[in-house]
Amino acid sequence: MIIKKSPAEIEAMKEAGRISAKVLREVGARVEPGVSTLELDRLAETLIRLEGGIPAFKGYGGFPGSICASVNDQIVHGIPAADVILKEGDIISIDTGATVDGWVGDNAWTFPVGNVSPEVKKLLDVTEKCMWAGLDAARPGNHLGDIGFAVQSIAEAEGYGVVREYVGHGIGRNMHEDPNVPNYGRRHHGILLEPGMVLAIEPMINMGTHKTRQMPDGWLVCTRDGKPSAHFEKTVAITEEGPVVLTTEPNFKRPVGK
């Protein structure tokens, strides 16, 4: 069942979104060669709690970290660890979430570690573009398939693979609510988008095949062919006026051309 939120509830979700966005930005600023993913995790938890939030991921379904930290060919759900040390040329997808007054904010970004190859930089740029296209499609009168189509058409035009098994989702008082939000689809198909829906739109785009492999820990998901993957995500409310990004900070300015 899709749980639509009132304008007042959407307003209340903005604080969880603000904290999630601020923490993602500040943790991302600490990404550099020699840093472990566990260090980034501890920083994220400290910052979330200092801002008055609760780490939304820690303990969720048994997940041990406050962030998901996925490096290079790791798509999602990487568990932070002291022995995972970032190196020059890596990329890391960091997913952060905060709960405030029972509301959840969820967002992700893929950061370069130092200088990355032109091919990898293009993957990051295209995946971010996919995210913005998906967010723009989250409008009343559109359908769920319009979001997926917007993402898929951009990614596949570049020859990239769009992950099928892992998708975006509704969000509110629970991290995962109905509906699932695939990053592929057909225009004008699927459920009708209506004001009050709040979605986490999160393209997961692979440089090679869309196929994935689940790792033995039961959490980490990697690309089947070992090629890099990027992951960008924001929480967005569908309103009468159009999409309103909730995982943002007051002074956030959308990049030109996005």
Q: Does the annotation place 189 within a ligand binding site?
A: no
Q: Does the annotation place 169 within a ligand binding site?
A: yes
Q: Are 258 and 29 in contact (CB under 8 A)?
A: no
Q: Does the annotation place 77 within a ligand binding site?
A: yes
Burial class (CB in 10 A: 0-12, 13-18, 19+), 156: middle
* DSSP one-letter string for 73-104: TEEE-PPP-TT-B--TT-EEEEEEEEEETTEE
Provide CB contacts within 8 A for 101, sequence distance 6+: 12, 15, 16
Q: Does the annotation place 106 within a ligand binding site?
A: yes
Q: In angstroms, rounded to a whole number, what is the distance separating the alpha carbons of residues 194 and 173?
A: 19
Q: Does the annotation place 176 within a ligand binding site?
A: yes
Residues making up the binding site for a divalent metal cation: 95, 106, 169, 202, 233
Annotated binding site: 77, 95, 106, 169, 176, 202, 233
Binding site residue list for substrate: 77, 176
